[in-house]
Amino acid sequence: MIWVIVAVAAVLLLVVLLYNRLVQLRNRVDNSWAQVDVQLKRRYDLIPNVVETVKGYAAHEQQTFERVVQARNAAQAAQGPEEQAQAENALTAALRQLFALAESYPELRAAPNFAALQQELSETENRIAVARQIYNDSVLSYNNAVQSIPTNIVAAIGGFKTRPFFEAEVEADTPPVVDF
């Protein structure tokens, strides 16, 4: 009889430990996503300044400016890693067009405020890449736990579901930088 009680207690202890581990991993994923979100918001705050600076030199390129603003708004409205990744890829493409346009204006390239904004945006892109990697590493650990035996049993009972990775397109991995 004592062996049965000990066995049941051991199983319950194991379930509690596995459940707590899943909670910790899920919270790490949520925290990592929050860090990605902080860096994305920083990027969104910089983009209007870049657009306005370029607009001062190339006012007739309205379609390019509108594309960047629309992509920024779509990225800000995106929900979750999958939708966010898609919106960020579109925003990166629009920014590349904007910086390619800037190459046509030597006086813009020489403007100190444009150079400072470009540097700040490049640094932010690097921060986003690091935050995205940390998020994806956290998701990997969490998803492995949710899908591995015996944790998957506790995960199913506890309602733990796998999380999506934040996948950017390969060419979107490099920041939109113009080399003068």
Domain map (residue ranges) of the chain: 2-173
Cα dist from 28 to 23, 123, 143, 144, whole Å = 9, 24, 12, 14
pLDDT for 173 equals: 46
The whole-number average pLDDT for the span 30-50 is 95
Single-letter code of the amino acid located at 151 = T
At 4-18, the pLDDT tens digits run 999 999 999 999 999
Identify the band that residue 60 occupies on the pLDDT scale cut at 50, 70 and 90. Answer: confident
What distance in Å separates the CA atoms of residue 85 and residue 128, rounded to the nearest whole number?
Answer: 11
Cβ atoms of 66 and 96 closer than 8 Å: no
Fold of 2-173: de novo design (two linked rop proteins) (1.20.1440)
At 84-141, the pLDDT tens digits run 999 999 999 999 999 888 888 888 888 888 889 989 999 999 999 999 999 999 999 9
Structure tokens belonging to residue 27: 């919270």
Identify the band that residue 170 occupies on the pLDDT scale cut at 50, 70 and 90. Answer: low
Share of the chain above pLDDT 70, in %: 93
Q: Please give the backbone phi and psi of residue 14, each rounded to the nearest 5 degrees, phi first.
A: -60, -45
What distance in Å separates the CA atoms of residue 121 and residue 174, rounded to the nearest whole number?
Answer: 12
The whole-number average pLDDT for the span 49-67 is 87
What distance in Å separates the CA atoms of residue 56 and residue 59, rounded to the nearest whole number?
Answer: 6
What distance in Å separates the CA atoms of residue 93 and residue 138, rounded to the nearest whole number?
Answer: 27
Cβ atoms of 26 and 142 closer than 8 Å: yes
At 146-168, the pLDDT tens digits run 999 999 999 999 999 999 999 87
pLDDT for 177 equals: 52
The whole-number average pLDDT for the span 23-37 is 97
pLDDT for 103 equals: 84
pLDDT for 178 equals: 46
